[in-house]
Amino acid sequence: MTTLRLYNTLTRKLEGLRPIKPGRVGIYSCGPTVYWNQHIGHMYCYVQWDVLVRFLRYLGFKVKWVMNLTDVGHLVSDADEGEDKMEKGAKREGLTVWQIADKYIQQFKESVALLNIQEPDVFCRATEHIKEQIELIKKIEKKGFTYKTKTGLVFDTSKFPEYAKFARLNLKKQTAGSRVEVDPEKKKPWDFLLWVTNQPNHIMQWDSPWGKGFPGWHIECTAMSTKYLGKRFDIHTGGKEHIPVHHTNEVAQAFGAFGQQTANYWLHNGWLVIESEKMSKSLGNNVLATNLIDKGFNPLALRYLILTSHYRQGLNFTWKGLGAAQRALDNLYEKVVELKEQSSRTKPKSQTLVPNLSRGSRSFKEYQKKFIERLAQDLGVASALALTWQMLKDKALKPEEKYRLLIDFDQVFGLKLWEVRPPTIFELPAAMKRLVERREKLRQAKKWQEADEVRKKIEKLGWQIEDTSEGPKTRKMSLNNLF
């Protein structure tokens, strides 16, 4: 059996995956801070980790995937300074912090659904695990890894000599900067808060042995990952920006509490940038998954585009590139329909077209083997996608075999190939419904020009809309009219 090899940030090496429990894999992914919209730059990593989970399940592993939702404690800096992101969001919109959390959790989950990312087995909110965080901090304190300052309870990194090892930090070059100005009682500028006190104006606070306050950002991930996956689990994922502070502090906390590493493999994704610039609200280049629909794209075109990249390298997003991905996805959908129809003509009507993967020619089995081998090299999904197009051109394979391979591979790709039905390819019922309803409201408000712009978007998505006395009616256009 081919061994899945993954790049482990902990060792800076490609290593074969050896699960703690045979046949089972536990994964913890750093999730969103739910104070604002999650744009496609954020969604890049979740598509990549979804591919990891899908591939493990494809290989036959039973996977437990856990993801946190940060709804308290994450300051605008990843260090111990600045305003709490949740409170900043609440002030911005005139809502309570709890309403902000609920609003943006919903936005995140909608984006997850649009990109066909499987929801993790466990979504865990930081505010629902305050007890677990306090208990973990008490363990760290009992073992002598803490000290108190006017700001709260601080992790003493001098008690963990290997603090700099995970991120290869050069602590001699670390300067005090604003972190010490925030709390001059810190022994080292990189010591970090486990529990924050003496913040009377902070809205979200809980009683604790150290006084009324709230948890530091880093403690939630160690508390929740170990609650759901145990003190030792297989894989921890996150963005590369987490390496020098957040994940370094997670490693330190684990040694403070348990005297050991929690995750055996630490995986980090690169970033999606837009037109070679970092995506940010301040630059005004924030793109949401729903914006893709507004511009006439199938959100799964973004998923396809992400599949052409390697998770560690990141992706330079361009609208031209997304257009090419949309055309490639369209072509793939057309192939599915074509191959399914060809396969149907060679089968009795009573026979199902559910892929039977236990049989196939030598070429068929060779493609399955190559597919696994390419993905097993540190999730080489782009290479596996290239193999798919190579397979579709292979004259040695029968149409039925090509169709079965497409559906088989899509267990990992997640492009919904199994759902493709002629003639209604590119079905986006929820998205279409929103656009049709928006256009109708604009028409009723007599905003004809804006309504016409929405109509153009609907047509670009491959639908025609007709206004009748019974309301708007939509029907699918032919493939030749799309994009």
pLDDT tens for each residue of 242-257: 999 999 999 999 999 9
Confidence label for 283 from pLDDT (cuts 50, 70 and 90): low
pLDDT, tens digit (0-9, with 9 covering 90-100), for 65-80: 999 999 998 877 777 7
- pLDDT greater at residue 457 or residue 127: 127
In a domain, 384, yes or no: yes
Residue 350 has pLDDT above 50, yes or no: no
Domain identity same for 433 and 411: no
Q: Report the distance separating Cα 93 and Cα 479, nearest Å.
A: 43
- pLDDT greater at residue 361 or residue 20: 20
Domain identity same for 51 and 190: yes
Task: Name the β-bridge partners of 29.
Answer: 67, 237
In a domain, 275, yes or no: no
Domain identity same for 54 and 76: yes
Residue 416 has pLDDT above 60, yes or no: yes
pTM: 0.85
CATH of the domain at 319: 1.20.120.1910
Domain identity same for 459 and 383: no
Q: Tell me what pLDDT residue 455 has.
A: 87
Q: Report the distance separating Cα 367 and Cα 369, nearest Å.
A: 5
User: Of 381, 399, 419, which residue is a domain's last?
Assistant: 419
Work out the percent of the chain whose per-residue pLDDT is above 90: 72
Number of domains in the chain: 3
- pLDDT greater at residue 397 or residue 276: 397
Q: What is the mean pLDDT of the chain?
A: 89
Domain identity same for 190 and 302: no
In a domain, 7, yes or no: no
Domain identity same for 448 and 404: no
User: Which range of residues forms the domain containing residue 336?
Assistant: 289-419
Q: Tell me what pLDDT residue 348 has.
A: 40
Q: How many CA atoms lie within 13 Å of 372's alpha carbon, on the beta-carbon side?
A: 15
pLDDT, tens digit (0-9, with 9 covering 90-100), for 314-340: 999 999 999 999 999 999 999 999 999
Domain identity same for 447 and 393: no
CATH of the domain at 215: 3.40.50.620
In a domain, 364, yes or no: yes
Domain identity same for 322 and 453: no
In a domain, 131, yes or no: yes
Tracing tokens 């145990």 back to the chain, one arrives at 230
In a domain, 160, yes or no: yes
Domain identity same for 232 and 353: no
Cα-atom radius of gyration of the chain, to the nearest Å?
25
